[in-house]
Structure 1
C-alpha cells in the first residue's frame, strides 16, 4: 500500500515540476505558445521585385538556361528587358 501511495505522490510531484518548467519556458519565449510548423508549398523569390511567391502559382520563364520564377508576367518582362540590355 505504501508503494502505491509513494508512486501517486511521485507522479503528482512530477506533474507539478513539469508545469513549472513549462510556464518558465513560455514566459521566456514571450508567453506565446509555439505554433506547430505545417508543411506547405515551396516559396520562390522573384528576382525583379524580391517578392516571395508560391512556386505553383509563379510565372516561370527560361532565362540563360535556367528556370526563373516571377510573381507576375510584368515582372518577368521587366527582368528580361533589364537583363537583355546588360
Structure 2
C-alpha cells in the first residue's frame, strides 16, 4: 500500500515538473521591457517619420537606443553624432 502511495506522489511531482518545463520551453517569450512593443510607433530622429517599432532599424548610438526608418537615416545619424563629439 505504501509503495503505491509513494509511486503516485512521485508521478504527480514528475508530472508538474515536466509540465512546467514544457510551458517554459514552448511558452511565449517575455518581451524585453527596454524595447518598445512591435506595434508601438517610434519616430526616426533624422527624417521625423513614424514607423512601427517592429519594422524599424534599431541602433545603439552613444549608449542610447534609436530607431530609424532606413539604413540611410541610420548612417546619416551616426555620421552626424560622430562629427558632433
TM-score with structure 1 length normalisation? 0.52
Check if 1:66 corresponds to 2:64. Answer: yes
Check if 1:42 corresponds to 2:40. Answer: yes
Check if 1:79 corresponds to 2:69. Answer: no
Query: CA offset at residue 41 of structure 1?
Result: 1.4
Partner SS state of residue 67, structure 1: strand
* In 2, Cα distance between equivalents of 1:44 and 1:83: 19
Let me know the Cα RMSD of the aligned residues. 1.4
**Unaligned stretches of 5+ residues in structure 1:** 1-39
* Aligned ranges 1:18-37 → 2 under 5 Å: none
Give 1 or 2 for the bigger CA radius of gyration. 1
**Unaligned stretches of 5+ residues in structure 2:** 1-37
* In 1, Cα distance between equivalents of 2:53 and 2:76: 19
* In 1, Cα distance between equivalents of 2:64 and 2:83: 18
